Structure 1
C-alpha cells in the first residue's frame, strides 16, 4: 500500500471516528426490498352500521409476521385517508388509550391502522426488561428498529388496498410509538402528516454520566430520533408533550423539537406522562390532520 493511500485511509478513519453521528450509515440502515411478498391476510371481525373492523397480518423484513387491526368508516367515500396509530412500551394495539384514538379518528372519517410493536401483543415472545442501558439493551434496541421496518411494510400494505388513499397517510404515535415514529416518518416520506405524543430525543442521555461517550452515541445512533427528525420537513410535524413528564423528560422533548425543521409545532399540557388528557391530545391531533391531511 502506497504512503498516500495509507494517509487517505487514516484521515478517512479519523473523520468518521471523530463524529459518531456519521460513524454508521443510518440513512441506509432502514432500506429494504419492497419486492418481498407481503403475504398479507384480512379477516372481518365486526361489521356495524358505522364501520368495519378487520384483523390483518403481513410479512415484514427479517421474516417477522406483523399483526394489526384495520378500521374502516362507512360515513366517508373511498379511497379513505389513513392514520397509522401506534401504542407505547409494554402495551398493544388494543390498549384503552389507543382504542380511544381509533374511535375518534374513525368517527371523523379516517381509516385507522393499528399494529403491534415487535415483541408486543400477538407478537409477544419471551419479554425481557426493556432498557437501552441494561443487560438486554440489544434486544431492546431491536424492538425499535424492527418496528420501523414493520411500519414501512404497513405503508406497503396500505398501497395495495383500493379503499385506502396512499397519498393521504398520517401517523400518530404515543410514547415509544412517538419515538419510533419520528425515525419512521423521517425515512419514509410516504407519511404526509406525522404527529408524535409524549416523545423526545437525545437517547444517549439515558446513560447519565456516560452520555457523551462514543460508545453511548454509537449504540443509539440507529434509533436516535435526532438523527432523523430533520428529514420530516417540509411535511408538517406536530409534537404533543407533558410539562411534568416523568418518563420522557421535557428536556428530551425540547431537544427533539429544536432539531426539527419548519413547519412544526409543539403543544405542552400541564400533565404527567400517564395522565395526559386523552380527549385534548387526540383532539389537537385530529385538528392537525384536518388541516394538513
Structure 2
C-alpha cells in the first residue's frame, strides 16, 4: 500500500513539474502572437457624420466627427471590430491616437470622448478588446478564465496590428501615432508603449502596475467581502497573470514620453498601484494627481475632474505633436473618406 501511494505521489509530482515548465514556456512567449505580415482584410460596415450631443458622466457634451466602422484580421481566423473617428474638416495626413478602453467598456466609449481630439486635428481609433463588445466569449467559468488569461496579450498585439493598419491608411501620417489608454487600457497601453517604438507618446489614464498591489485595491477587497478568500484569490490570479504585469516591461518605454493621470483617492486602481507603474517607467515621464475616485465609481460631482483629465491629456498630446503642425492648428476640409482600405 505504501508503495502505491509513493507511485501516486511521484506521478502527481511529475505532473506538477510539467505544468510549471509549461507555464514558464507560455509566460516567456506571452506576447509572441503578433504577426505584422498578416493581411488586414479590412471591411467597412458603416461611414457617416455624427453631429449630436452625448451625456458624459452627467455632463452634456457636443459630438461632431466622421465615424467609420470596420473589421480587420488580427490573427489567423480572428477579426476585430474597429471604430475610427476623423475630423469633419480636415486635409492632408492626420496624426492618429490609438485609444484603449477600460476592462468593462467597448469601442463605443470612444464616441463619448473623441470630439475634442478630432476637432484638434487627431484621428482616433479604438477596437473591441477580447471579451467585450463584438468579441464576447461564450462558455462557462473555464472558458471565461482562459479568455481572461489571454486578454492582455491579445489587447497588446491587437493594438500593434491596428498601428500596422493605420500606417497604411491614406489619411494617416505613419510617423505620428500616439496612444491613450484608460484604466485596463492604460495598464496594457504601458506594455504596448514598451514593445512598440512607433508610439510617439502615450497618455495613461488611471493606470497601474504590480498585480498583487492592484488586487489589493479597496474596491476589489470590498467586492470579494471575505478576507481569506481575497488573499487566496490574489495568489492565484497573481500567478496566472504574472506575464501581463507592466512592471516587467515598462522600463523599455525609455525615450518615449509618457504622461500618467491618476486619481489620488482611486479605489480600483489605487494610488499605490499608480506609483508602482510610475517608478517602473523609463524616462521621460510625468505623473499628475487629481482629487477623484476611479471614473465611474466616484460621485457625479467628479465629472468635471474627468473632463479636466481629458482636456489636459489632449493639451499634452498637442504639445508632443507641435513640431509637425503649421501655426499650431489643424488644417481643414469637408471631404469624407469613404473607405477603410
Deviations 1:47-103 (Å, cap 9, x if unpaired)? Answer: 3796421111100125321101111114332210001112111211113xx333211
- Given the alignment of the two structures, is residue 152 of structure 1 paired with residue 149 of structure 2, yes or no? no
2:38 corresponds to which of 36, 39, 42: 36
1:283 corresponds to which of 301, 311, 327: 311
* 1:183 Cα deviation from its structure 2 partner: 1.2
Structure 2 vs 1, CA of residues 226 and 41 (structure 1 numbering), >3 Å: closer, same or farther?
A: same
1:76 corresponds to which of 66, 90, 94: 90
- TM-score, normalised with respect to structure 2: 0.70
- Given the alignment of the two structures, is residue 221 of structure 1 paired with residue 233 of structure 2, yes or no? no
Match of 1:90 in 2: 104
Greater CA drift, 166-175 or 60-69? 60-69
Query: C-alpha separation between the residues in 1 aligned to 2:273 and 2:312?
Result: 21
Structure 2 vs 1, CA of residues 259 and 84 (structure 1 numbering), >3 Å: closer, same or farther?
A: same
Query: C-alpha separation between the residues in 2 aligned to 1:291 and 1:21?
Result: 42
Q: Could you say what secondary structure the match of 1:122 adopts?
A: helix
- Kept after mapping to 2: 8 A contact 1:183/1:229: yes
* 1:176 Cα deviation from its structure 2 partner: 0.7
- Kept after mapping to 1: 8 A contact 2:260/2:278: yes
Query: C-alpha separation between the residues in 2 aligned to 1:68 and 1:256?
Result: 28
Match of 1:238 in 2: 259
* 1:169 Cα deviation from its structure 2 partner: 0.7
Greater CA drift, 71-80 or 45-54? 45-54
Query: C-alpha separation between the residues in 2 aligned to 1:253 and 1:48?
Result: 35
Q: Name structure 2 gaps, 5 residues minimum.
A: 1-19, 52-63, 217-229, 322-341
Deviations 1:151-187 (Å, cap 9, x if unpaired)? Answer: 1110111022111011101111101111111111111
Give the structure with higher Rg (CA).
2
Query: C-alpha separation between the residues in 1 aligned to 2:253 and 2:233?
Result: 26
1:1-293 matched pairs, under 5 angstroms? 24-25=27-28, 29-30=31-32, 32-47=34-49, 51-95=65-109, 98-126=110-138, 136-205=144-213, 206=215, 209=231, 219-274=240-295, 275=298, 277-293=305-321
Structure 2 vs 1, CA of residues 182 and 22 (structure 1 numbering), >3 Å: closer, same or farther?
A: farther
Structure 2 vs 1, CA of residues 21 and 198 (structure 1 numbering), >3 Å: closer, same or farther?
A: farther
Q: How many equivalent residue pairs?
A: 267
Query: C-alpha separation between the residues in 2 aligned to 1:107 and 1:119?
Result: 31
Query: Could you say what the CA RMSD is over the residues aligned between the two structures, in angstroms?
Result: 2.9
Deviations 1:91-135 (Å, cap 9, x if unpaired)? Answer: 11113xx33321110111101111111121112233777xxxx99
* 1:233 Cα deviation from its structure 2 partner: 1.5
Q: Could you say what secondary structure the match of 1:38 adopts?
A: coil
* 1:32 Cα deviation from its structure 2 partner: 2.6
Match of 1:10 in 2: none
